[in-house]
Amino acid sequence: MHELLTRLGLDRDPRVIPASDAGDGSIVSVNPATGLPIAGVRLDNADAYEQTITRSQEAFKRWRTVPAPKRGEVVRQIGNAYRDCLEDLGSLVSLEMGKIKAEGIGEVQETIDIADFAVGLSRQLTGITMPSERPLHAMREQWLPLGPMGVITAFNFPNAVWGWNAMLGAVCGDTMIWKPSLIAPLTAIATNNIARDIAKDLGHEGVFELVIGLDDEVGERMVADRRLPLISATGSCRMGRRVGAVVAGRLGKCLLELGGNNAVIVEADADLDMAVKSTVFGSVGTCGQRCTSSRRLFLHESIADGFCDKLVSAYGTIRIGDPLDDNTLVGPIISDDAAAQFESAIALAKQQGGEVLAGGGRVDPAGLPEPLRKGSYVQPTIIRAPGSNKLPVAQEETFAPILYVFTYRELEEAIAMQNSVDQGLSSAIFTGSVRSAGRFLDPSGAGSDCGLAYVNLGTSGAEIGGAFGGEKDTGGGRESGSDAWKAYMRRQTCTTNFGDEFALAQGIRFE
């Protein structure tokens, strides 16, 4: 077994088996950089799911009675444990998901950051008071734990998406049942084991549960399960439509973090070097497999040609290869299927009149070092829309490093094009003008329609302090900072009559 797995204790986990032993009832986790198996993972079935739910329900009854700051202390120790294995866990993210090591480590750092945030929050789960209209009455709000919650995560952030939910959910008094993507189960096992063991050592067994199973058998069961008052689901819009409908059908709560089709607008007065650097990171980082990746670029017509030239030369310097090699900037795409979708999108763009300015296909395996030749590597691609500015393929999210470039004359036109897609996650403008920035962030809502709107920074790379999420088909959920914690609790309005009279609101007399 890979020595990294041993260092993270995965060799002692009964779920993890040699890849050669995997058969019915198990899956194999594959290293996308080499196409080789890393290890096998035993799947949970419906019975195992039932047992998990029972443990989580029992744990919830105890966990909710632990004072929130004491729950924060558990989360503090979990965050510190992730600090201790930051490099190893980040490397496992890279090994299994294919993002470069710096980004793998950055992802675990996000979980550590949100753990710190949650520790502080554990003393600030505050409700407000409001004046009662009745004499000798007092009104206030309190926030209560919700219950066991289901966390469904996407493959591309196999550690942090759970971290965002679990660290906040835990201080709020909820217990977690995590169903990770079957593409990155080892990261999920390593991540969850650390939290599970610390909680257990501190007397809180069952707070962090993991269930790894097929969508049909376990995923659907979880989504339909009335014992889970909240389902937090991160993934494609297709998945969100299904999960959202099922949870709504049982009147449960859903926190949806779905696909994006994010755009960057570059005004003529922008700092162009900054805009180029930021656009390159936004479009090629994580091989274009972030929900916030930059997929569309709107350039003011006066700077478009020069800007494209700069982008093309920057793309020419991108080192593609082994994500665990410190010199690599772009690792593999997750699978051969994903590479095929990348190729289809490019073919469609060409049919629609798009011109390929950079990239345009898979990386020739012959040009890669021998161990990487069975991995799926694609060239980060820039496609310029035809003069008509019409490129229907750009209206969809293709989870790959393709950047579609459009031109515009008036800012309103660029904002309208940006807002014309179904998704509403992340958006950015580069400008030196207060007026343009103001119009982009117009408080009337006439500017960007996305959940995230940035001025002079790119679409990807959110900080945990703000609420993260998007509108329209992105699902409307908010996670991470600000008051996103409220999604993990239920609100109770409490009114106390401390007088001697029975009094009704609105002055109603009932005698």
Q: Collapsing DSSP states into helix, strand and coil, what is residue 450?
A: coil
Residues with Cβ within 8 Å of residue 487, at least 6 apart in sequence: 230, 232, 253, 255, 477, 478, 479
**HSE-up of residue 52 (Cα within 13 Å, Cβ side):** 26
Here the tokens at position 406 are: 């459009």
Q: Given 291, 397, 450, 479, which residue is catalytic?
A: 291
Question: Smaller CB distance to ligand NAD: residue 181 or 278?
Answer: 181
Q: Shortest gap between Cβ of 166 and ligand NAD (angstroms)?
A: 15
* HEC assignment per residue over 240-266: HHHHHHHHHHCCCEEEEECCCCEEEEE
Question: Smaller CB distance to ligand NAD: residue 55 or 242?
Answer: 242
Q: Shortest gap between Cβ of 210 and ligand NAD (angstroms)?
A: 12
> Residue 116: how many CB atoms within 10 A of its CB?
17
- Given a contact cutoff of 8 angstroms between Cβ atoms, the answer to whether 419 and 439 are in contact is no
Residues that bind ligand NAD (CB under 6 A): 152-157, 161, 179-182, 215, 219-220, 223, 234-236, 239, 242-243, 257-260, 291, 397, 399, 425, 474
Q: Collapsing DSSP states into helix, strand and coil, what is residue 46?
A: helix
- Given a contact cutoff of 8 angstroms between Cβ atoms, the answer to whether 19 and 28 are in contact is yes
Q: How far is CA 164 from CA 109, 130, 395, 467, 489, in A?
A: 11, 31, 29, 11, 15
Distance (Å, whole) CA 36 – CA 205 = 35
Query: Residue 191 phi/psi, 5° resolution?
Result: -65, -45
Q: Collapsing DSSP states into helix, strand and coil, what is residue 174?
A: coil
Give me the DSSP letters along 417-441.
HHHTSSEESEEEEE-S-HHHHHHHT
* 397 flagged as catalytic: no
Q: Shortest gap between Cβ of 70 and ligand NAD (angstroms)?
A: 30
Question: Smaller CB distance to ligand NAD: residue 291 or 405?
Answer: 291
Question: Smaller CB distance to ligand NAD: residue 211 or 275?
Answer: 211
Here the tokens at position 240 are: 């969100």
Looking up tokens 């800007």 gives 307
Question: Smaller CB distance to ligand NAD: residue 260 or 447?
Answer: 260
Q: Given 209, 257, 267, 479, which residue is catalytic?
A: 257
* 291 flagged as catalytic: yes
Here the tokens at position 287 are: 């091989």
Q: Shortest gap between Cβ of 381 and ligand NAD (angstroms)?
A: 18
- Given a contact cutoff of 8 angstroms between Cβ atoms, the answer to whether 259 and 473 are in contact is yes
Q: What is the CA radius of gyration of the chain?
A: 24
Distance (Å, whole) CA 275 – CA 267 = 10
Give the catalytic positions in this structure: 257, 291
